[in-house]
């Protein structure tokens, strides 16, 4: 039992849907610009649900699919850049909410690549000790981090959570993971934390705490890394793109996906896209998409799927899954 499989999937998004038209009442934008430049038509926005609440709901659904009890969960990893608090971790709050009292729980910060990092970290921990079941969750409440006066970012981001139950198995599941960082460009996407503040400080500096992004630079980064990751995974596994049934990319911009498809010389149909309904939910976007594909019975046993992400950090990575 030395392989790690995805045994359950679940997601949660707030019921409140916000259309492009509604956003155009807040900032100087319009449906045409948003849908043409990004592919987004609508997004789900929190009505008070915080990250831990959405993550817990997604976990409950994933555990139901895997048919396992919360007491069987040994490890909980929440990938988020919008935690409820600095401490405790969102994962510890999830642990309490779902009653997984035997688990080790912690958060990771890798922005939109968080779910990919989470899969790799959980697999490594599970393989190195006696843990049998893990929950890996991507969960975000980006609506609380957005500058709702900044039209270049507020049209993009949204709220939601997706979760996967990982289990040890004799079958092959997560075949290969690739996780990378490019910290020298960390300033391209930022969400500020607290300022340095204490009674002994001679001069305090106040930084912008809202989400800020250099969209053009991130676009260039994303298009090159998505292609690089997919090529690397295929080369490492001695596979070709024809061996892959689906690519599930981080849902940031439909133009990034179109660009990657062109560079790889494949149809965009190999990429699963649901950004039109959810916007960019950062770490949650890949597990929400994967869960939706499973609910639609698109994925069949034995399918080979590449998950690929990129985002704040800058971070990027990919996982090759045998379903
Ligand atoms: N409505 C109308 N006009 C707008 C809007 C808007 N919402 N936003 C910007 N514009 C204007 C700009 O002001 C600019 O006008 P100008 O030409 O008069 O100066 C024009 O539209 C073009 O702006 P660009 O920024 O060049 O637009 P671009 O085509 O690059 O699209 C976008 C912007 C969608 C942000 C794109 O750059 C992108 O998708 N970048 C990648 C983002 C991403 O992948 N993020 C993932 C990581 S997120 C994370 O990790 C949390």
Q: What is the pLDDT of residue 1?
A: 67
250 is catalytic: yes
> Ligand 1 test: best mutation among 219, 259, 314, most atoms within 8 Å of CB?
219
Q: What is the pLDDT of residue 130?
A: 85
From the alpha carbon of 152, which atom of ligand 1 is closest?
8
User: Both 7 and 32 in a single domain?
Assistant: yes
User: Both 185 and 140 in a single domain?
Assistant: no
The two structure tokens encoding residue 151: 């039209």
Residues 6+ apart with CB under 8 A from 68: 7, 8, 133, 165, 167
Nearest to 135 by CA among 102, 170, 178, 180: 102
214 is catalytic: no
186 is catalytic: no
User: Both 23 and 160 in a single domain?
Assistant: yes
Which residue stretches of the chain have pLDDT < 50?
none
Nearest CA owner, ligand 1 atom 5: 152
The SS3 of residue 9 is strand
User: Both 123 and 144 in a single domain?
Assistant: yes
Q: How far is the CA of 214 from the centre of ligand 1 (A)?
A: 8
* CA dist., res. 54 & res. 158, Å (int): 13
Which of residues 125, 154, 172 is at a domain's end? 172
Q: What is the pLDDT of residue 2?
A: 86
Q: What is the pLDDT of residue 129?
A: 83
User: Both 236 and 289 in a single domain?
Assistant: yes
Q: What is the pLDDT of residue 23?
A: 98
Which of residues 120, 153, 172 is at a domain's end? 172
- Summarize pLDDT for 224-248 with one digit per residue, the tens: 999 999 999 999 999 999 999 999 9
User: Both 31 and 154 in a single domain?
Assistant: yes
User: Both 311 and 185 in a single domain?
Assistant: yes
Catalytic residue among 112, 154, 179, 229: 112
* CA dist., res. 73 & res. 196, Å (int): 38
Nearest CA owner, ligand 1 atom 48: 311
Count of the separate structural domains present in the chain:
2
User: Both 111 and 243 in a single domain?
Assistant: no
User: At 24, phi and psi to the nearest 5?
Assistant: -70, -10
Q: What is the pLDDT of residue 221?
A: 97
User: Both 85 and 140 in a single domain?
Assistant: yes
Whether 309 is in the pocket of ligand 1, judged by its Cβ within 6 Å, is: no
Whether 79 is in the pocket of ligand 1, judged by its Cβ within 6 Å, is: no
The SS3 of residue 37 is helix
Instruction: Report the run of H or E that residue 246 belongs to, with start and end.
Output: strand 246-249
Nearest to 191 by CA among 207, 204, 209, 176: 209
Task: Please check whether residue 47 is in contact with residue 16, taking contact to mean a CB–CB distance below 8 angstroms.
Answer: yes
Q: What is the pLDDT of residue 11?
A: 98
Q: Which domain holds residue 304?
A: 176-199+206-322
Residues 6+ apart with CB under 8 A from 106: 76, 77, 78, 89, 91, 92
> Ligand 1 test: best mutation among 19, 146, 216, most atoms within 8 Å of CB?
216
Phi-psi region of 161 (alpha: psi -120 to 50; beta: other; left: phi over 0): beta
| Pairing relationship of beta strands 304-311 and 246-249 according to DSSP bridges | parallel
* CA dist., res. 151 & res. 68, Å (int): 43
User: Both 236 and 304 in a single domain?
Assistant: yes
Question: Residue 183 sits in a domain of what CATH number?
Answer: 3.40.47.10
Q: Buried b vs exposed e over 271-294: b needs ≥16 C-beta within 10 Å?
A: bbbbbebbbbbbbbbbbbbbbbbb
Task: Please check whether residue 148 is in contact with residue 294, taking contact to mean a CB–CB distance below 8 angstroms.
Answer: no
* CA dist., res. 162 & res. 248, Å (int): 14
User: Both 18 and 155 in a single domain?
Assistant: yes
Instruction: Report the run of H or E that residue 79 belongs to, with start and end.
Output: strand 75-79
Dihedral sign (CA 54, 59, 60, 61):
positive
Whether 37 is in the pocket of ligand 1, judged by its Cβ within 6 Å, is: yes
Q: What is the pLDDT of residue 59?
A: 98
- Summarize pLDDT for 143-157 with one digit per residue, the tens: 999 999 999 999 999
Within 10 angstroms of residue 302's Cβ, the number of other Cβ atoms is 10
Nearest to 145 by CA among 190, 206, 93: 190
Which of residues 156, 172, 188 is at a domain's end? 172
From the alpha carbon of 81, which atom of ligand 1 is closest?
51
User: Both 103 and 168 in a single domain?
Assistant: yes
């Amino acid at each position: 039992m030395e392989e790690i499989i995805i045994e359950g999937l679940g997601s949660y998004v707030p019921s409140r849907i916000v259309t492009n038209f509604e956003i155009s009442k807040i900032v100087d934008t319009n449906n045409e610009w948003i849908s043409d430049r990004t592919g987004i038509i609508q997004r789900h926005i929190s009505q008070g649900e915080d990250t831990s609440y959405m993550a817990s709901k997604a976990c409950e659904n994933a555990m139901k699919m895997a048919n396992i009890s919360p007491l069987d969960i040994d490890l909980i990893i929440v990938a988020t850049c919008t935690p409820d608090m600095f401490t405790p971790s969102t994962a510890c709050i999830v642990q309490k909410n779902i009653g997984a009292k035997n688990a080790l729980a912690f958060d990771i910060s890798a922005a939109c690549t968080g779910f990919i990092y989470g899969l790799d970290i959980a697999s490594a921990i599970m393989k190195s000790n006696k843990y049998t079941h893990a929950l890996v969750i991507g969960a975000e409440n980006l609506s609380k981090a957005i500058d709702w006066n900044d039209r270049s970012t507020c049209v993009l981001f949204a709220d939601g959570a997706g979760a996967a139950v990982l289990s040890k198995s004799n079958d092959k599941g997560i075949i290969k993971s690739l996780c990378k960082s490019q910290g020298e460009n960390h300033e391209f996407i930022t969400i500020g934390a607290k300022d340095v503040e204490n009674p002994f400080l001679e001069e305090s500096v106040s930084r912008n705490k809202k989400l800020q992004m250099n969209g053009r630079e991130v676009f260039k980064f994303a298009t090159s890394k998505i292609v690089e990751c997919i090529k690397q995974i295929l080369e490492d596994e001695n596979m070709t793109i024809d061996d892959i049934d689906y690519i599930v990319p981080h849902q940031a911009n439909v133009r990034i996906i179109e660009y990657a498809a062109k560079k790889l010389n494949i149809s965009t149909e190999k990429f699963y896209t649901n950004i039109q309904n959810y916007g960019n939910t950062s770490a949650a976007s890949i597990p929400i998409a994967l869960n939706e594909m499973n609910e639609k019975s698109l994925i069949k046993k034995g399918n080979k799927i590449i998950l690929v992400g990129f985002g704040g950090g800058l971070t990027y990575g990919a996982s090759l899954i045998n379903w």
